[in-house]
Structure 1
């Protein structure tokens, strides 16, 4: 059985616990290493509405975007939600109580309906195994006319890393754009806008590449994850064949969505 298939068959509670643990461990270093995530979030930021009164940062992490949302909408009630208690602890220390911090997951949002007129979610829902549940939860908590602004990832993301390690099955099993379209339609949400944009970031060496992934929690421990020195050397050599003048490339296939709850 491939790693991707094993992840899909794993009990949901176990998978969520692994994700929460990985991101909690990453919290102290996340802000220093999350440059790719920040760049991708900026394109999402540009499409937000001018006004909002109840805002959810879904997958808030260390609270960077939650804090910016609170500044952008100074009269709004801003909530930051994350599955990882370590991330939320870091956010509370850094940004205090002007933002409401809530532990929970995107598939079963712990809010009364309707709770928000804007949901912001940058690179979070790709960690969810049940996208049908995510979209139903968004439909439930959005007010009529409320919008969800989301970035997620499509297949092809981290292809260079998969090539270097020769373990493409170890990557997250990501749904394609067509599959997500069907899921959105079945939820009752309306797709207002979308864009697909390949983004490539560059790193000086393999150590920096892996730090950018592990350091933001974007890797869940697997039983077969240990590599020998020979395997590590081979991975470095393979990655070097991809080197460009800017450095070693790492690709993210970004899917930006603007959704609305019509009723």
Structure 2
């Protein structure tokens, strides 16, 4: 399969968005906190008895927001934050008041620069949707997890920003919106030694008075179209006007424009 997601663009886009990300990432924070609640419920319901993880990896740590939350939750455990965007890591290092036990690592989730069985908990909120090769991603996740280790993941499904995709589809046949994998595709990519022990799915719909607020928010978090072969030079005034008119068809009776996010929550255990 040819590369569908431009990893260099992913890294550059999120690096540039480091200073603005936290100010517009309310949805991302909400989803990450829900993922932590799901992890807590799993830990409390565990039949085998709950023990705190020996070491934690925040995979796709971004600005370090949840790295900091994980440090508060597990204050005495070795903790690492890994991200492909060097700009995000630089921001995290300088803005998060974390102790020296936190290790910041620049790396690709599909080729982790980490030792085998080095972490007992992998936390990853809204990061793995930028990985094209899910089989490689999960194989790497399994490799760095210790025996009975847990991977706690939130990611986005293909219905994410369906209104945006639909509006553009009325204008041309190019791919203007990131396309993410389905839950079935993700589950099919799991190796035999990673067991899916809990999953939840939900649709979250945000609303905006004007389309510009949505597009500015997407720019603020760095979530541009990362697909290779995307349309270039096709966003002139006439096309943009037509696109805005197409999106207006979604305006609700309350006078707001919706933007939908399909969210998957997964808890995996290393067999």
Q: Is the TM-score greater than 0.5?
A: yes
Tell me which of 158, 164, 167 is aligned to 1:164: 167
The CA deviation string for residues 182-203 of structure 1, in whole angstroms up to 9 with x for no partner, is 111x352000000111111112
1:53 Cα deviation (Å)?
A: 2.6
Instruction: Give the Cα–Cα distance (whole angstroms) in 2 for the partners of residues 42 and 69 of structure 1.
Output: 11
Match of 2:207 among 202, 206, 229: 202
The residue aligned with 2:244 is 236
Aligned to 2:139: 136
Alpha carbons 2:177, 2:225 under 8 Å: kept: no
Report the 3-state secondary structure (helix = DSSP H, G, I; strand = E; otherwise coil) of the residue aligned with 1:170: coil
Structure 2 residue 23 is matched with structure 1 residue 26: no
Superposed CA deviations along residues 60-102 of structure 1, whole A, max 9, x for unmatched, are 0000000000001111111110000000000000114522111
Structure 1 residues 42, 247: closer, same or farther in 2, change over 3 A? farther
Query: 1:137-168 deviations in whole A, cap 9, x for unaligned?
Result: 11101111110000111111110111222367
Contact 1:116-1:143 at 8 Å conserved across structures = yes
1:178 aligns with 2:187: no
TM-score for both structures, normalised by structure 1 = 0.90
Q: 1:17 corresponds to which residue?
A: 8
User: Counterparts of 2:68 and 2:216 in 1: how far apart (Å)?
Assistant: 25
Counterpart-to-counterpart distance in 2, 1:225 and 1:37: 30
- Aligned equivalents of 1:46 and 1:225: distance in 2? 44
Cα deviation, 1:115-142, whole Å, max 9, x if unaligned, reads 1111110110010111001100111011
CA distance in 1, matches of 2:192, 2:142: 7
The 2-side partners of 1:239 and 1:11 are apart by: 26
**2:26 aligned partner:** 35
- Gap runs ≥5 in structure 2: 44-51
Once superposed, what is the RMSD of the aligned Cα atoms? 1.9
Secondary structure of 1:173's aligned partner: coil
Considering fraction of residues, name the structure with more helix: 1
Q: CA deviation at 1:16?
A: 1.6
1:146 to 140, 145, 149: 149
The equivalent of 1:190 in structure 2 is 195
Counterpart of 2:46?
Answer: none
User: Which residue of structure 2 aligns with residue 4 of structure 1?
Assistant: none
- What is the distance in 1 between the residues matched to 2:25 and 2:233? 23
Conservation of the 8 A alpha-carbon contact between 2:175 and 2:231: no
Tell me which moved more, 239-248 or 133-142. Answer: 239-248
Unmatched segments (≥5 aa) in structure 1: 1-7
Q: Deviations over 1:41-73 (max 9, x none)?
A: 121010225622311111000000000000011
2:203 partner SS: strand
